[in-house]
Amino acid sequence: DVKVTQSSRYLVKRTGEKVFLECVQDMDHENMFWYRQDPGLGLRLIYFSYDVKMKEKGDIPEGYSVSREKKERFSLILESASTNQTSMYLCASSLDGTDFNSPLHFGNGTRLTVT
Amino acid sequence: EDQVTQSPEALRLQEGESSSLNCSYTVSGLRGLFWYRQDPGKGPEFLFTLYSAGEEKEKERLKATLTKKESFLHITAPKPEDSATYLCAVHLGEYGNKLVFGAGTILRVKS
């Protein structure tokens, strides 16, 4: 089974702190994604990566950056955390961007609270 | 603008009471429609992919159907363990498997 592991289930950070959210997948997937999930808004794509050192902006990249130095690891960085970044963050991976049969596999999420 | 709308927002059913969840979309270049199930405190879990109008997929008590404008997730004789949030997402066909998600339907099945 594909496993996507997010390093923290819960995080509490202060406004202005730099925050790192880590995600690791164990199935040699090409694509990795970061979403945030807020009530009533669904999942919104922040950034995605289709190869090592490659990244693409999603729909809401402002205030975030990402890093993919190794294929299995995709990090989300909040440069200066703000209260409006309080949310559930979900990491996902999929096998191949050209294979439309390839579903996303999600981690269990990191609930981030910024105070 | 590409949009995905799910209805109802929440649905309460008695055990055994069949019903349907709706996912309507206004997107150009639809390449596929996905259904996911999400349990509290967990990430979404993949259920189905549908690619063309008229297609149907089944898994246990769930059946997903697709038309040119919407998809339905039919739940036949639901059980309490079917309680979850059901998410619909459309694949826009851009490289990287980018999905646009609806806000979800929260389903509660009471025994």
pLDDT (tens digit, 9 = 90+) per residue, B68-78? Answer: 899 999 999 99
A97 vs B104: CB contact, 8 Å cut-off?
Answer: no
| Mean pLDDT within B85-92 | 90
Which of A79-83, A95-99, B99-103 is the least confident region? A95-99
Exposed e or buried b per residue across A16-53, where buried means at least 16 C-beta atoms within 10 angstroms of its C-beta? eeebebebbbeeebbbbbbbbbeeeebbbbbbbbbeee
pLDDT band at B2; cut points 50, 70, 90: low
Q: Does B105 touch chain A (CB under 8 A)?
A: no
Question: Which pLDDT score is estimated for B95?
Answer: 53
When scoring B23, B87, B97, B105 by the number of chain A Cβ atoms within 10 A, the one with the most, hence best to mutate, is B97
Q: How far apart are CA B13 and CA A7, in angstroms?
A: 36
Question: Which pLDDT score is estimated for A99?
Answer: 58
Question: Which pLDDT score is estimated for A97?
Answer: 58
Average pLDDT, chain A: 92
Beta carbons of A58 and A90 less than 8 angstroms apart: no
pLDDT band at B3; cut points 50, 70, 90: confident
B98 vs A50: CB contact, 8 Å cut-off?
Answer: no
Which of A42, A106, A109 minimises the CB distance to B102?
A: A42
Q: How crowded is the C-beta side of B48, counted as CA atoms within 13 Å?
A: 24
Question: Which pLDDT score is estimated for A101?
Answer: 63
For a pLDDT cut of 70, what percent of chain A falls above it?
A: 94
Which of A97, A104, A107 minimises the CB distance to B95?
A: A97
Question: Which pLDDT score is estimated for A95?
Answer: 85
The yes-or-no verdict on residue A2 having pLDDT over 80 is no
Q: How far apart are CA B16 and CA B37, in angstroms?
A: 19
Which of A54-58, A85-89, B10-14 is the least confident region? A54-58
Which of A67-76, A100-109, B92-101 is the least confident region? B92-101
CA-nearest residue to A58 within chain B is B98
Average pLDDT, chain B: 91
The 10s digit of each residue's pLDDT in B13-59 is 999 999 999 999 987 777 889 999 999 989 999 999 998 899 999 99
State the SS3 of chain B. CCEEEEECCEEEEECCCCEEEEEEEECCCCCEEEEEEECCCCCCEEEEEECCCCCEEEECCEEEEECCCEEEEEECCCCHHHCEEEEEEEECCCCCCCEEECCCEEEEEEC
